[in-house]
Structure 1
Amino acid sequence: MQTRFGRRAGAFAAAASALALLAACGPSADETAEADASAGGEGITPDTLIIGAVPAEEATGLENSYEPVIEMLKDETGLDVEFQTATDYAAVIEGQRSGQIHIAQYGPFSYYIAKNTGSEITVAGAMVQEKDEPPGYVSYGVVPADSDIESIEDFAGKHLCFVDPNSASGYLYPLAGLLEAGIEEGDWDETFAGGHDASAIATAAGECEAGFAFDSMVDETLVDNGSIEEGDLRVVWESETITSSPITVYDGLDQELFDTVMAALQEKANQDYLVANGYCEEGDCDLTDERIWGWEAVPDDFYDALDVVCEATRAAQCSDS
């Protein structure tokens, strides 16, 4: 049985409503055509660059967490830059495929889906939590502190909280872990909570018997913001290291603008540069709601590991891509 918390109404309906919102804020078809013509048919230069992202936790403050990057991109490109909070990854995928989102923050799996379903995008960089750390993180399987569940093998027959069907750490890697533990797909009830915070909070409250969320959401974010107390959740499973979430640029931009945005994200979208140049203050410059140091360029094959996980899980989302 599959249920969803009210925060998410369904991928396609959400994508449609989000695209309607983006269309209202983004360039019209005529404006896009004019921009394309002015660029000699080689790419567009929109009046406003649109950044799209899905909140890892409740959306309050998500735009503020990108504000230093937004201001830096305004200075680098000379264009207005607007941030749009999407309801789910399907909305971001459709928005960037249609050229209405020019810069998008994905999770690893949603990027994999986007790339393999026709989105013309390029990875500018992967999230780095701390300076000089390799880009990567893990998914946790968590249970309430007083649960008698001791390992992922005990998840069979239980009510589980996942995050989003297009989430690497909130669905794909947990699915791989369940199958590796010998649990047949469907031998659990599931809820897609809509966010890593919602999944962990629901599990702590006993609404799900076990759940999944990425590591720093459980270890730091929810404890720091008071959503849960330290010790409310017990970690009983960890995934292998997952490649960090990518930020991408729409390939349909004018080449000079594309190069400018790529360089800015790779070289200047980090705490060191942003603090040094007055976009934010030391100690108050955590970027995105995942509180990262910044992004760094990664090799072209960085996300190939997802092929292996898709092969192991044969998840419907993988085959759809």
Structure 2
Amino acid sequence: MHFPTRAKGLLASFALVAALTGCAATSTAAETPETPDKLVFAQIPSESAQGIAENNAAIIAAIEETTGIEVEIQQVTDYAAVIEGLRAGQIQLAALGPFSYMVAKDSGAGVEALGALVDDPDQEPGYKSYGIVPAGSDITDLAGFAGKTVCFVDPTSTSGFLYPSAGLLDLDIDPETGVTPVFAGGHDASALSVADGTCDAGFAYDTMVTTQIIESGSLKEGDLEVVWESETIAGSPYVASDTLPADLIEQLQDIFATDLNIPALVESGICSSAADCQLPEESEYGFIPVEDSLYDGVRAVCATTKAAACNV
């Protein structure tokens, strides 16, 4: 794979959410947004800053080549920082979870969905949350989480908090008082904290548990046991800030719909071959367009759990 050198660069992490919001855009609805000199892309860490750069390299290369605008990667600490950065106009592109997308959309943060990853173009994007315990644990199901120290990911993580909360509530276990909750900050951090005994049990998304953290060498196969699976969750969308010009948002949506799939990336020369084409979530195809209605299931789970983060 080849891609512009500038796509490799990582900006320093945001230290405070306030740093994102301190210079909120003041343009009025009557003003036409200007095309920016660069697009800041943000994603919370899944494993490492370098991993984010590598996983998104083809995406960034395609955006830069088509739009002529430089893309810089911004690693942030949590979904709230991404949402507030989008709201303030300091972040223009982001990878969100389904829950954080719904929070951003419904709270007026001003986001437009660009697409979500699938393994097949005819497939509806989706994944699952896994409830995990260390190998040899006497916890064999979700009911066994009661009274334990449980690692969640983030208060606005779909598979790392919202759907696990719904699963616990179905068993009359309050996710705030029926367990001792710990927010690990990332799916890999949650899994590692379970494996090393910091938490008795925890949650992370499916492929983080089954492949990603094993292939990274952080854990070995068999270090974790899966004792619970959620229902299928709508796929995680990439989004654009509506502070961008409308024609640029449309162009980005077209890029995600037509250019950001493995066959197209090979044809354009961004990827040298299908085998060499690395995409996030180890997608075997790439992106397809998504509608806001796809995330109504997340809104329904919010209604069930009444999670504080749902109150947008």
> TM-score of the superposition, structure 2-length normalised?
0.88
Deviation at 1:17, TM superposition (A): 4.3
Instruction: Call closer, same or farther: CA 1:273–1:213 in 2, change over 3 Å.
Output: same
Counterpart residue number, 1:171: 161
1:190-201 aligned within 5 A = 190-201=181-192
- The alpha carbon displacement at 1:81 in A equals 1.9
Residue segments in structure 1 that go unaligned for 5+ positions in a row: 1-11
Deviation at 1:277, TM superposition (A): 1.3
1:307 lines up with 2:292 in the alignment: no
Which of residues 173, 179, 184 in structure 2 aligns to 1:188? 179
Q: Tell me which of 43, 48, 61 is aligned to 1:53.
A: 43
Structure 1 residue 133, shift from structure 2 partner: 3.3
For 1:15, the equivalent position in structure 2 comes to 17
User: 1:19 offset after TM fit, Å?
Assistant: 5.8
1:258 aligned onto 2:271: no
Give the C-alpha shift of residue 310 in structure 1. Answer: 0.6
Per the alignment, residue 107 of structure 1 pairs with 97
1:13 is displaced (CA, Å) by 6.5
- 2:210 is matched with 219
Once the two structures are superposed, residues 88-144 of structure 1 have per-residue CA deviations (whole angstroms, 9 ceiling, x without a partner) of 111110111111211111001111111121111111112224554321000000111
CA deviation map 1:159-196 (0-9, x unaligned): 00111111000000001001101213411111111111
Give the corresponding residue for 2:226. 235
The answer to whether the 8 A contact 1:103-1:247 is kept is yes
Match of 1:265, as an amino acid? F
Q: Structure 2: 5+ residue runs without aligned partners?
A: 1-13
When the two chains are superposed, the root-mean-square deviation of aligned CA atoms in Å is: 2.2
User: Are the counterparts in 2 of residues 129 and 294 from structure 1 also a CA contact under 8 Å?
Assistant: yes
Match of 2:73 among 83, 105, 119: 83
Indicate the residue corresponding to 2:6 in structure 1.
Answer: none
Q: Deviations over 1:226-269 (max 9, x none)?
A: 11111111111000100010111122222222211111122111
Q: Deviations over 1:258-315 (max 9, x none)?
A: 2111111221112221122111233222213x22242211233110111210111110
Are the equivalent residues in 1 in contact too, given 2:40–2:91 (CA < 8 A)?
yes
Secondary structure of 2:147's partner? Answer: coil
What fraction of aligned residue pairs are identical, expressed as a percent?
Answer: 46
User: 1:253, 1:232 → 2: CA distance?
Assistant: 45
Per-residue deviation at 1:207? 1.3
State yes or no: 1:142 paired with 2:144.
no
User: Residue by residue, what CA displacement relative to the aligned partner does 1:2-34 show, whole Å, maximum 9, x if unpaired?
Assistant: xxxxxxxxxx974224567xx7xxxx97xx97x
Query: d(CA) in 2 for partners of 1:169 and 1:182?
Result: 19
Match of 2:267 among 273, 276, 280: 276
